[in-house]
Amino acid sequence: MHSSTSNFERPIPNLPWRQLVLTVAVLVTIATVAWELRVRAWGYGPTLNDTPDLWAQRRALLKPDSLVIIGDSRAWFDLDLDELEHGLGQRPLQLAMPGSCAYPVLADLVADENFHGTILCSLLPAIWLAPAGPPIENSEKALKRFRKATVSQRAGHHLGMLLEERLAFLKQDDLTLGALLAKVPVPNRANAMIPPLLPPYFASVDRERRARMTDLCAQPGPLQDRIKFGWAPLFTPPPPPTFVPKEAFLAGMNQAVEGRFKDTAAAVKKLQARGGKIVFIRFPMTADLKELETRATPRAGPWTRIINESGAPGIYFEDYPELASFDCPEWSHLSAPDSVEFSKRLVPHLRDALKR
């Protein structure tokens, strides 16, 4: 019986391997440098990506009496950690996330029985009450990484930070192949509604997750205009699905929203019962975006209801001329210098709120 196996030897071509390796290395280096120069010419600069890993790294530093910032991108852009530390005597942990509903983060902090610190929470009603979708998914993704990150993920994160702080083209939300392909304009068509584009790169992020608006965005120009006129689609809810009766869909949404009101009040009361504190903050927005938000979620609606039902203090920027006088260059966030001044002016109101 003949064996079904045979000796197999793969011949290695007799090629100038050293020269080939050197040529490939040179070509890769040239291409990398060219791409780096190109994206810098577009206005990009070296800065950290705000990944779930970076968020999880900051969340791991939580102490029982920590001062914590949670919320959406306005708390991320508009609060200066140095000014808050100077005014409140404690350096905050920045756990706010752009495009996210902060309720899952609040629930996570409240579920930690050891935590009895202070929470500064941005309350943007349209996002806070989102029952599902990207705002919830963004928060849950960060929380999952905090709870279940592997050793290799942590190691990759630290290596990535070293490179991101030096190379401008490492922008996962803008400059990966998938992100670039997603920006190819495709019109809506039957059974395929194209979601609105997210804002492009317009902030730097440091290791404490402090976001600062870039000078290019703070100045009038194409980037600022692109961001300004991109908010309306993002703040406009998608139409109800056609495969669900409208009445049933609206009833389900109303039930989910009512649940969020109830859960928010319960979480605040649980935190307060063990000595913790929370202050809800409504940050500045201007121009067309302010009109859109005021029309969709008037102050007398969700904001007032959450404050009343939770019993937590709230700071609404329009109540104080020194807070209402700021202009948001792209209608939704403060410039880097203004965020410092805004935080300085906010501190006395935070002190008063925390005494209640």
According to the model, what pLDDT value does residue 175 have? 84
In this predicted structure, the answer to whether residue 198 has a pLDDT above a threshold of 80 is no
The tokens for 226 are 């692109």
Mean pLDDT of 16-38: 93
The tokens for 41 are 């010419």
CA distance 226 to 240: 27
Q: Which helix H or strand E contains 56, and what residues bound it? A: helix 52-59
DSSP annotation of 319: G
Please, what is the average pLDDT of the chain? 90
CA distance 278 to 119: 5
Mean pLDDT of 175-190: 73
Mean pLDDT of 118-137: 92
* Res. 4 pLDDT band, cuts 50 70 90: low
Mean pLDDT of 197-224: 89
Tens of pLDDT along 288-323? 999 999 998 999 999 999 999 999 999 999 999 999
Mean pLDDT of 54-76: 96
According to the model, what pLDDT value does residue 188 have? 66
Q: Tell me if 279 sits within 8 A of 79, measured CB to CB.
A: no
Mean pLDDT of 55-72: 97
Among the listed ranges 170-184, 204-218, 264-278, which one has the minimum average pLDDT value? 170-184
* Closest among 123, 114, 120, 128 to 93, alpha carbons compared: 120
Arch. (CATH architecture) of 52-152+204-354: 3-Layer(aba) Sandwich (3.40)
In this predicted structure, the answer to whether residue 29 has a pLDDT above a threshold of 70 is yes
According to the model, what pLDDT value does residue 5 have? 57
Q: Tell me if 74 sits within 8 A of 231, measured CB to CB.
A: no
* Res. 26 pLDDT band, cuts 50 70 90: very high
According to the model, what pLDDT value does residue 283 have? 97
Who wins on pLDDT, 173 or 289? 289
**Residue 282: burial class (beta carbons within 10 Å; 0-12, 13-18, 19+):** buried
CA distance 254 to 72: 22
Residues in the chain: 356
3-state secondary structure of 233: helix
In this predicted structure, the answer to whether residue 187 has a pLDDT above a threshold of 60 is yes
In this predicted structure, the answer to whether residue 223 has a pLDDT above a threshold of 70 is yes
Domain ranges of the chain: 52-152+204-354
Helices 52-59 and 134-148: crossing angle in degrees, nearest 10, is: 60
CA distance 237 to 45: 33
* Res. 180 pLDDT band, cuts 50 70 90: confident
Tens of pLDDT along 228-275? 988 888 777 766 777 777 777 777 788 889 999 999 999 999 999 999
Residue 297 Cα to chain centre, angstroms: 21
In this predicted structure, the answer to whether residue 155 has a pLDDT above a threshold of 90 is yes
As a whole-number percent, the residues of the chain with pLDDT over 90 amount to 70
Tens of pLDDT along 317-349? 999 999 999 999 999 999 999 999 999 999 999
CA distance 235 to 74: 14
Torsion of CA 257, 260, 265, 270, to 10 degrees: 170
* Res. 193 pLDDT band, cuts 50 70 90: low
Q: Tell me if 62 sits within 8 A of 110, measured CB to CB.
A: no
Place of tokens 């120009």: 221
According to the model, what pLDDT value does residue 59 have? 97
Q: Tell me if 278 sits within 8 A of 121, measured CB to CB.
A: yes
According to the model, what pLDDT value does residue 132 have? 84
